[in-house]
Structure 1
Amino acid sequence: MQRSYILKPSKAKSLKYVQAISSSPLFSLLVVLVLSTLACSWIDLSDPAKAKRVVIRINLPTLTPTASSPPTNNLPTTIPPPATPSYRPTIAAATAVVLAPLPTPTFTPAATATSNQESAPPIPVTAPTNPVPTSSPPTSPPITTPTTTSAPNPSFAPTPTVTPIPETPGWAFAKIRTYNDEYEGGLILYGELVNDTGAPQEIAYITGAFYDPQGQLIADSDSTTEYWPLEIVPPGGRTPFELAVNGIQAAANFKLWANSTTTSQSPRQDFNFEGVEQWSAAEDYCLTGQLQNPGGELHDFLVIAAVLYDSQGNVVNFGETYESALEGGETLDFEICIEPPNQNAARHELYAWGQ
């Protein structure tokens, strides 16, 4: 007769977990030990009746050997144990080492040549000594500090005693008018230079000296720049000139002089002007007309100058034109325009020189 036993739900659940784990052969032994411990805790072994009521069956997995192919190589069935190495290092017997003492170097003097003659007594050697100067070292001369003395301010006389440019006697200056140079600064003089030397003169310089109201020199030939249109002035002839003085705006007094040399050449002045007209172009004072040469041919130069004068007869300004040659009896048309200053011009004069 077969008996059936009903386990409690908690115990059945535990067995379910055990069966799940028991599927792994690796943990079978651990499961058996655990279940055995649990079974002991649930059953009261003191009661033999109760001990017979619980039967636990656990099917352990059976290990079945699997046939494998025989080995291809004839290997030994048993593996011999590893051989113990029989190498033993051979230690040579220690040999005593005896250090020999190092040889002590000995100094052998060089061989001295000997002769049968008697050796001369040794000559004493004395170290050279520097001669002690008997005279004392030269002493440097005392340094003197130069003293500067201020030179007194020179006093200038109203009339210079020495002129840088020598003056040629016989020249006269006339109809002079002065201006302040509004373009370049300084003082400008216009006038006429008259040849009263009695001979043709080739002009070299026109200059002067300028003074303030106290008679002190304020400008000289180093500050002047001159210009004139005619190179050689015949005896009794005249030429306009311009003299610019740098560094001053006015002068209370001045003295002018000219330097020239006498020459044998004298230009002609016998020319006739015809059909002269005056007109203005912007700020320029212009003159047009014709010049007729009544004499021989001019082969060196021809200068035509127009000079403007104010109501007092002083020179306001001037202008000129040049020609290189003109046939005898030929008539030449000309035009001259004079730039400012020309506002106070009251009349004009035409001059011509040729050679």
Structure 2
Amino acid sequence: MECSWVQHSCVSVQLADPLEEVLTLIGTTSHLSVGLVAGGEWAVSFEPPQGVKFNAVRRGHCLLTVDAVPEPIKLAESDCFLLTQPRSFTLASKRGVRPVPANPVFAAATDGVARVGTGEDVVFVGGRFDFGERAQELLLDALPPVIHVPGHTAEAATVRWALEQIDAELRDRPLASTLVTEHLALVMLIHLLRLHLAVARPGEVSGWLAGLADPVVAPALRAMHARPDRSWTVAQLAEVAAVSRSTLAARFKQVVGQGPLNYLSGWRIELAADRLRRGDGTVASIAREVGYGSESALSNAFKRVTGASPRDYRRRIGAIGDSGVGAVRM
């Protein structure tokens, strides 16, 4: 993880990258799907997808309609969208075309390409991002249901580059192309999130993600993520942010939705739960790593948040993992 340092009058503070940490903690993976080529008058309706659906228009233009989103979204060449919630959606050449269901269209795909309509006016590449059990609360709830990133802007140059590389890998199929395209898709995801944070209007992101885009809150967030084991005070975090204690407390609550020390407590519990799920270390060592002075202090905080002690949580995770059912949500 890359970190930077900020020197203040009393303390040198290491700043972390919360977005990188959260994406790592929730176990982000990507999977490319069959491509789609469409032409003439056409429309395809999709069931609510698993994971976070993404599509990019490689050629042409179309309309995207998402369930419960009031207006259709016009997609042009090089545009991308992320569907962050499991909602049904339709891609179409224009309004009013009767859609066909996507499943039979993709089931009939040949050579990795599904076709609908007549001709090749529009070409899509797409897939999904899968996450671990905590993704909904940690990341997806902070995002709008659909994120549209126009591809023609200078800021989207890296996204266009990633799409071009994915196209080349899918076309030529060199060695390890599947692995390369999945990593390129993750690069694209990170840049899409960066671009969205840069241009999001008030209310389009919330929680810690909104804090990353705030010049006052972001330094304090990054400091807490860099040293969750430190006994932070609001005054120390305010010094990192170069504002007064009262200004940071009010701004943090307004932007993130909770006070800085409440946020820190929640992040410590997330880190502890992650280590317990992975089986890393004793409860006592985990307590020290995440900022609790003793095993009992972590146990009390962990049970207050999750309803289970760290030891019980670890046993439940182990039992469910052995049965192949999956992990318990906190």
Shorter-chain TM-score bucket reads under 0.3
| Structure richer in helix, relative to its length | 2
Q: TM-score, normalised by structure 1?
A: 0.19
Q: Which entry has the higher C-alpha Rg, 1 or 2?
A: 1
Q: TM-score, normalised by structure 2?
A: 0.20
| Structure richer in strand, relative to its length | 1
